[in-house]
Amino acid sequence: MTPAAGLLSPSGRTALAGLALIVLPAGLYLLSGDVKRALQISVLALPFAAAALAAPGASGLLRWSLRAFALLGFLVLTLDAGVRDFLKWVYVAEPMSTFVLEAAANTSAEEALGFFAAQWPALLLWAGVSAAAFALEALLVMRTAPAAPMRPALRWSWRALLLVLFAALLLALAKPTWRGHLPFWFWPHWVRETAELQADWRSAEAAKRRELATAQALLADVSHEPQTIVLVLGESTCRDNWSLYGYARATTPRLEEAARTDPGLAVVRRAWSVDAATVGAFNSMLTFPVSAPGIAARRRNDPADGMEGGNVLAFFAAAGWRIEWLSNQDDRAINSRYAGWAADSTFLNRMTGRTSVSLDGALLPHFERALSNPAPRKLIVVHLIGAHPHYSLRYPKRLAPDWGDDPVKAHLWALGRSPWVVISRNQYDAAMRYQDEVVAKLLDLTRRRADDSGVETEWLYLSDHGQETGETINRAGHSTATPAGYRVPMLMWSAASGVFKALEEKPFRTDRLSPLLLSLAGIHWRGEDEREVFTSGRYQWAPPVLGARDPTMPPARAPSIESK
């Protein structure tokens, strides 16, 4: 028998052993609840299972080489799965999360020993599970032996299955997001990320010192009156999907009720993000030019130059404000760039990217605590995960989509949208309904605290960017090419009733958030321009340059900013 024959014409028992070798690692990943990764690993384990099947047909050195390759592959897969299972069960985290990377980047030998002393039962448990799984895999690899081949009918079915599996393997290896899950790729990348995080910390500290020095040098006047400002930043939330803005589905009943009954709440009807991705949107919202060339570029409506000269949080810190940062997102770039300004920070999400199942409601107790802090002047930033894809993970089961055959669904079918886009829209709208609950509760808690304390309080909500959900194109997700990627909701509330109502019909662009925050806080700096301040009587609208033309966006108000 040749190695090829061992793979293409094994005995029935050997074929079952090969399938078991593919299924076993996937089963370990399933213990962490990650079904998608389990499917990916079942495909990526195929070369090692194939080597085990081919080994009985080889002789001498080749046989042992094939078995050694298979054993090494399954050992690495099993160790990887064991680490992931441990992190998921003990910390609800995964290896590439900021939580784990920071722990690894900031540890020492003494801290590592303390970690093992505290977590040895869980470590022993998952080491035992992994060892048992690998022992079974090793037994299957070493016990495969030549035997009578399977019947012709089963043989051709087996070969067809191998063809499908190898085709899936080639596609998986060609796709970086799948290939990156193979431990041989993943862990070297993890080591690089840990080293980069350490370098980021060093550069972030230097940048923070520069930004603080810049803010201190430019401060002109600061109010010292007690005040609280709450800034709630949503994620991937498009105003087109809020019934508060006229959407056909009842996605925001609580906020609609608040808008009807609370004269302190203003609903800004026309707001746009200037970037359709999170990091770029945050940079545009929380940084602004302070040098003469940067300010001139901004007045030309050119956001590419001078956008990061000043950090609004550095100005708050320089003015003596206490900053608190509450986050349900695992975003290393944002946390490093902005959350580091907080006197106190809370990060609930320890799962990266789209697989997180952390719900925004978990932030509410932490928000109450931040509100009750006795600091006279405080800025509380709440960073939600909002409707960050996958949409199906952004709401509790009780809010599972139940829209039925309503006009929205009929409209999507009339547009010729695919079934999966319709499903995504249904899930996205369910996420909007949950966001309505969370955002309304954040507002209610702020209102109560303001009533009890009597402290001047302002509360703002807006999203970093929107989402396309099949309205313009047959796709759902982040979009730089359609208006929905930039249309965001914006809410403003003040304990001083009615002060923001006059702003509801004014257009707003999110890269003017920094001037708005500074003005609300009574922080003035040399170089500020009232024409950029949304609450100023001299405010002037200038349409941002976006990646998509939005016919609902109003033109520039004459005279333009540049002409002043």
Does position 294 have pLDDT exceeding 90, yes or no? Answer: no
* Cα–Cα distance for residue pair 382/402, rounded to 1 Å: 29
Tokens standing for residue 261? 């009954």
Note whether 307 and 288 are within 8 A (CB). Answer: yes
Name the segment(s) of the chain with CATH classification 3.40.720.10: 224-532
Does position 58 have pLDDT exceeding 50, yes or no? Answer: yes
pLDDT of residue 205: 78
Instruction: Name the pTM for this structure.
Output: 0.77
What is the percentage of the chain residues whose pLDDT exceeds 90? 51
Closest residue by Cα to residue 13 from 158, 226, 123? 158
Helix (H, G, I), strand (E, B) or coil at 287: strand
pLDDT in tens, 107-121: 666 657 666 776 778
Distances (CA, A) of 195 to 192, 200, 201, 330: 5, 9, 10, 18
Distance of CA 297 to the CA centre of its chain: 31
Of residues 298 and 562, the one with the higher pLDDT is 298
* Residue 538: burial class (beta carbons within 10 Å; 0-12, 13-18, 19+): exposed
pLDDT in tens, 366-392: 999 999 999 999 999 999 999 998 899
Phi, psi (rounded to 5 degrees) for 416: 80, 30
Does position 306 have pLDDT exceeding 50, yes or no? Answer: no
Of residues 303 and 124, the one with the higher pLDDT is 124
Closest residue by Cα to residue 30 from 39, 18, 43, 17? 39
Pairing type for strands 523-525 and 219-222 reads antiparallel
Highest mean pLDDT among 49-53, 154-158, 421-425, 473-477: 421-425
Q: Is the peptide bond before 559 cis (omega within 30 degrees of 0)?
A: yes
Note whether 513 and 233 are within 8 A (CB). Answer: no
Of residues 184 and 271, the one with the higher pLDDT is 271
Pairing type for strands 265-268 and 490-494 reads antiparallel
DSSP 247: -
* Cα–Cα distance for residue pair 336/499, rounded to 1 Å: 35
pLDDT of residue 509: 97
Helix (H, G, I), strand (E, B) or coil at 309: coil
pLDDT in tens, 384-421: 999 998 899 999 999 999 999 999 999 999 999 999 99
Kindly state the average pLDDT of the residues 484-496. Answer: 96
pLDDT of residue 201: 63
Helix (H, G, I), strand (E, B) or coil at 493: strand
Closest residue by Cα to residue 399 from 253, 551, 245, 221? 253
Q: How many CA within 13 A on the CB side of residue 46?
A: 19
* Cα–Cα distance for residue pair 439/448, rounded to 1 Å: 14
- Enclosing H/E stretch for 220: strand 219-222
Kindly state the average pLDDT of the residues 160-188. Answer: 78
DSSP 268: E
* Cα–Cα distance for residue pair 210/199, rounded to 1 Å: 17
- Crossing angle of helices 152-174 and 35-44, in 10° steps, is 110
- Report the chain's C-alpha Rg in angstroms: 28
Does position 525 have pLDDT exceeding 60, yes or no? Answer: yes
* Cα–Cα distance for residue pair 236/35, rounded to 1 Å: 24
Q: Is the peptide bond before 465 cis (omega within 30 degrees of 0)?
A: no
Note whether 535 and 519 are within 8 A (CB). Answer: yes
CA–CA–CA angle 445, 448, 454 (5° rounding): 130
Does position 74 have pLDDT exceeding 90, yes or no? Answer: no
The amino acid occupying position 163 is L
pLDDT in tens, 2-53: 666 666 666 667 777 778 888 888 888 888 777 777 777 777 888 888 888 8
Of residues 180 and 519, the one with the higher pLDDT is 519
Q: If pLDDT is split at 50, 70 and 90, which confidence band does 559 have?
A: very low
* Cα–Cα distance for residue pair 429/253, rounded to 1 Å: 13
Kindly state the average pLDDT of the residues 350-370. Answer: 85
CB count, 10 Å around CB of 472? Answer: 15
Does position 71 have pLDDT exceeding 60, yes or no? Answer: yes
Q: What share of the chain is helix, strand, coil (3-state, %, to 5)?
A: 55, 10, 30
224-532 belongs to CATH 3.40.720.10: yes
* Cα–Cα distance for residue pair 181/492, rounded to 1 Å: 43
- Looking at the DSSP bridge assignments, the partners of residue 462 are 233, 490
Does position 354 have pLDDT exceeding 70, yes or no? Answer: no
pLDDT of residue 512: 96
Does position 562 have pLDDT exceeding 50, yes or no? Answer: no
* Cα–Cα distance for residue pair 371/99, rounded to 1 Å: 25
